[in-house]
């Protein structure tokens, strides 16, 4: 067997992986007095902005009201104005008037638009708010921070010019709790950025071996966390042949990483299990993908990044709940030992799978992962995330993730968490009519449906067969197909993201699980 490839950055790249994930990150400071700053963002309501600006006029000793008059600013909801001024140290002022209907995504996008203005120009910024609740203010900051992210690890020349210049943000408020809310939101943003760094990393550096070590290192200093890495020998002993078949052709051996957090030691129950598809690179196997765009298949581990980073965030914040996360790490490549169309695989559950398409590999990984997780931990609720089908992009584009489920309560909770975080999920049906489409004539099931229709749903029907397999297993289960939302191939699809990984799901899972504690 050939030796694994490694890039010139090698192990030094991996040692500082987590620390580097938050480069250009700025935690805001809540203050009640003017600090030195070069730019000012004012967010106000239509009814009150003139009085609000008049008070600002005194605070900053500037004539912004005069600027509004001379610019013929109409003051309509949703309107904004930017003006270059010289007053104290402030070189630029931006004013945005909020519309009456302003959801979380709108607030995040306001912050993101301000980041576009300032990130390459200014080091210090002030944010002034009128009529916003603390949680709404934190969403503006969240959008600003996510847009401020840069993936610059691989630049040798002009690296400094690629990074954001922003070093400090001041928010003026008399709220005693705002700093705490912002600090929590900052942790969410940091873990979103870690997920992005994982997704953006090239497969020469991020493979099952290195990825599993990153997870272990990143969890090493967390309280009440245990990490177990299953190697090929252990997975063979467990008969995880479906997962192992996918990675058989790679020089980098497959891994399953299992993380357990005991935040509520008074209970032996596992409240939630997060299960993530971690295909570090997907060539399609013998059902080879077209070469155009194949470089983006480094992102096929986006589900695992969301599960791992959400898990780490939950543990870091010390939530009083018990959570398990399991991620299956493989590379789907081609050589003379690769699995082939026509093969029949026996999964850990004992169910057999006829392989009709080796590019429908994510469900083969999740089949064993779902069964393993439920068999060993019997969680009350189980959520898997995967960049699973191109069909979900056809159906929902890059706006919603596809949501399939076996329980209305967990589906509703995911939808509510999505509305609170701006990471949206849309329900899709699982029914016996679709289930029959994956029946095989020579095995228990086949890994793709009949014909071209309902590709996302038949993938969900496939996964459902590995949930609640045996008596005594009654987990609420949901499957999130995040193929359309986990990676922005062109840049700009989401105002909060740059080209590449989005970190979708970290905020949603954290919010979902946090809210469940007091439910």
Q: How many CA atoms does the CB half-sphere of 18 hold within 13 Å?
A: 17
Q: How far apart (Å, rounded) are the C-alpha atoms in residues 74 and 289? A: 53
Contact 321, 375 (CB under 8 A): no
Q: What SS3 class is residue 477?
A: strand
Q: What SS3 class is residue 500?
A: strand
- SS3 of 303-364: the string is HHHHHHHHHHHHHHCCCCCEEEEEEEEEEECCCCCCCCCCCEEECCCCCEEECCCCCCCHHH
Element (H, E) at 30: strand 29-31
Q: Interhelix angle for 178-200 vs 506-517, to 10°?
A: 140
CA end-to-end span of the chain: 53
Q: How far apart (Å, rounded) are the C-alpha atoms in residues 20 and 150? A: 11
**Greatest Cα pair distance in the chain:** 80
Element (H, E) at 183: helix 178-200
Q: How far apart (Å, rounded) are the C-alpha atoms in residues 159 and 110? A: 27
Contact 199, 302 (CB under 8 A): yes
DSSP state of 481: E
Residue 450 backbone dihedrals phi, psi, to 5 degrees:
-80, 130
Name residues whose C-beta falls within 8 Å of residue 434's C-beta, 6 or more positions apart in sequence.
Answer: 449, 454, 457, 458, 461
Distances (CA, A) of 284 to 244, 325, 340, 446, 485: 15, 26, 11, 17, 20
Q: How far apart (Å, rounded) are the C-alpha atoms in residues 158 and 431? A: 54
Query: What DSSP assignment string belongs to 392-453?
Result: HHHHHTTTEEEEEES-HHHHHHHHHHHHHHT-EEEE----HHHHGGG--SSSSEESS-SSST
Q: How far apart (Å, rounded) are the C-alpha atoms in residues 174 and 166? A: 24
Q: Which residues pair with 71 in a beta bridge?
A: none
Q: How far apart (Å, rounded) are the C-alpha atoms in residues 452 and 469? A: 28
DSSP state of 505: T
Residue 320 backbone dihedrals phi, psi, to 5 degrees:
-85, 75
Contact 411, 401 (CB under 8 A): no
Distances (CA, A) of 187 to 26, 193, 316: 11, 10, 9
What are the catalytic residues? 289, 363
């Amino acid at each position: 067997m050939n030796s694994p490839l490694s890039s010139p950055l090698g192990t030094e790249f991996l040692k500082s992986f987590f620390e580097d994930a938050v480069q250009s990150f700025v935690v805001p400071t809540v203050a009640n007095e003017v600090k030195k700053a070069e730019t000012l963002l004012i967010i106000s309501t239509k009814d009150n902005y003139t009085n609000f600006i008049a008070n600002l006029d005194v605070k900053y000793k500037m004539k912004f009201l005069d600027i509004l008059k001379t610019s013929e600013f109409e003051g309509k909801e949703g309107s904004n104005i930017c003006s270059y001024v010289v007053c104290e140290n402030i070189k630029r002022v931006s004013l945005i008037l909020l519309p009456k209907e302003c959801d979380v995504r709108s607030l995040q996008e306001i912050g993101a638009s301000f980041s576009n203005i300032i990130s390459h120009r200014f080091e210090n910024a002030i944010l002034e708010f009128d009529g916003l609740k603390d949680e709404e203010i934190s969403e503006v900051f969240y959008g600003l921070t996510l847009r401020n992210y840069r993936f610059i690890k691989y630049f040798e020349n002009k690296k400094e010019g690629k990074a954001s210049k922003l070093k400090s943000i001041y928010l003026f408020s008399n709220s005693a709790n705002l700093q705490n809310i912002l600090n929590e939101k900052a942790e969410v943003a940091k873990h979103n950025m870690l997920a992005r760094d994982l997704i953006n990393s090239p497969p020469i550096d991020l493979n099952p071996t290195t990825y599993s070590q990153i997870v272990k290192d990143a969890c090493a200093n967390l309280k009440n966390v245990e990490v177990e890495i299953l190697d090929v020998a252990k997975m063979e002993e467990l008969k995880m042949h479906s997962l192992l078949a996918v990675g058989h052709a790679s020089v980098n051996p497959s891994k399953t990483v299992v993380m357990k957090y005991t935040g509520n030691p008074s209970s032996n129950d596992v409240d939630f299990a997060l299960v993530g598809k971690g295909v570090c690179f997907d060539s399609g196997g013998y059902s080879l993908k077209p070469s155009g765009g194949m470089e983006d298949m480094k992102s096929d581990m986006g589900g695992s990044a969301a599960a791992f980073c959400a898990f780490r965030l939950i543990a870091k914040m010390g939530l009083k709940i018990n959570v398990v996360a399991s991620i299956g790490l493989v590379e789907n490549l081609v050589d003379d030992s690769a699995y082939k169309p026509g093969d029949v695989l026996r999964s850990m559950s004992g169910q057999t799978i006829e392989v009709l398409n080796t590019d429908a590999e994510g469900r083969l990984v999740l089949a064993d992962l779902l069964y393993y997780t439920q068999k060993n931990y019997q969680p009350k609720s189980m959520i898997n995330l995967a960049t699973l089908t191109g069909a979900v992009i056809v159906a929902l584009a890059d706006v919603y993730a596809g949501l399939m489920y076996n329980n209305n309560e967990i589906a509703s909770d995911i939808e509510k968490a999505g509305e609170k975080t701006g990471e949206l999920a849309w329900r899709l049906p699982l029914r016996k009519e679709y289930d029959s489409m994956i029946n095989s004539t020579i095995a228990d099931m086949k890994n793709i449906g009949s014909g071209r229709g309902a590709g996302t749903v038949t993938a969900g029907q496939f996964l459902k067969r590995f949930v609640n397999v045996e008596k005594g297993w009654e987990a609420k289960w949901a499957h999130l197909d995040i193929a359309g939302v986990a990676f922005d191939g062109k840049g700009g699809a989401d105002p909060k993201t740059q080209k590449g990984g989005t970190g979708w799901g970290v905020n949603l899972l954290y919010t979902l699980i946090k809210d469940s504690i007091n439910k």
